[in-house]
Each structure stands twice: as C-alpha cells, then as structure tokens.
Amino acid sequence: MPIHKDILAYNAAQSADDQLICATLARAIDQHLKDAECKIWHRHPVWFLDGNPIVGYSKLKDCVRLLFWSGQSFDEPGLEPEGSFKAAEARYTSEDQIKAKDLKRWLKKAIDSQWDYKNIVKRKGKLERLT
C-alpha cells in the first residue's frame, strides 16, 4: 500500500535532517509491511495490521522516535522499553543512525509478535498476545 499523503505531509513539515529520518523510516516500514494500512493516528504516522497498531514514529523535541507497540517482546538490542505496556522504541537524531538490517529484523518481529492493542479499551487495559 502506498505511503498515505498525510504521512508524506507530516514528513515534509519536519526540519531537513528530520525529513531524512522520517522518509527513511517510512520507506522501510512500507517496504517490509506490505499488507499494513498507514495513516496519521494521534497526530503521528502509524502502520496497522488488521486494525492493530504495529509501528510508528513521531518527532520529539530532540529526536525522531520509532515506536513498536509490541517491541518489548522482540528481545532486541537497540530497542528500549517505553511506557507501561509492551512498547519499545529507538531514537534517532540523524539518518545515518538507522541500521537497515536492524530495522528489517524488527519489522519482521513486529509481524510475528503482536499484542492486541486494538481491543485494549474493551478489555479495560488488559493486553492479550495475538501471535
């Protein structure tokens, strides 16, 4: 599925260095998550499989954060726990920090290891593993 025009607009609104980071992340995510739907969700680019958020990125004050909703299950160096659920993140301040091999591996694990965020409200904050 092509990268949504709103995501392209989000990327274009960033500084020149952050545009490079965002464009590199968007291309890689789109390439490796071919069946994913992508859109702006809570003001940030996010990719979904069957309505479940898988991966996204956002501009923070001093970096671009790549977030995997089920990333703590990956057991991967380079990803740090984020929040009180199963998410993990990597932070980038320049495009050359993005390691294509790592990103490809993480995206494969994002498909293979998912927690059901789509139904977290219905389950009153309880996460269940999907795959």
In the chain, where the domains are located: 5-112
Compute the mean pLDDT over every residue in the chain, rounded to the nearest whole number: 90
The CATH code of the domain at 5-112 is 3.90.1150.200
pLDDT band at 131 (very low <50, low <70, confident <90, very high): low
Q: Would you give the DSSP letter of residue 113? A: S
pTM of this prediction? 0.89
Beta bridge partners of 53: 48
pLDDT at 85: 84
- The β-bridge partners of 44 are 41
Q: Average pLDDT for residues 50-76, to the nearest whole number?
A: 94
Within 10 angstroms of residue 43's Cβ, the number of other Cβ atoms is: 9
Mean pLDDT across 6-33 = 97
Residue 19 has pLDDT above 90, yes or no: yes
Residue 88 β-bridge partners? 68, 81
Q: 3-state DSSP call for residue 92?
A: strand
pLDDT of 125 reads: 62
Please compute the mean of the pLDDT values over residues 5-32 and round it to a whole number: 97
Pair 106, 79: CB distance under 8 Å: yes
Q: Which two tokens stand for residue 88?
A: 């993990």
Nearest to 82 by CA among 106, 98, 66, 100: 66
Give the whole-angstrom CA distance, residue 13 versus residue 22: 10
- Lowest pLDDT segment from 3-7, 64-68, 111-115: 111-115
pLDDT tens digits, one per residue of 104-126: 999 999 998 765 666 665 656 66
d(CA 115, CA 94): 30
Torsions phi, psi of 81, nearest 5? -55, 145
The pLDDT, as a whole number, for residue 113 is 78
For the chain, give the percent of residues with pLDDT over 90.
76
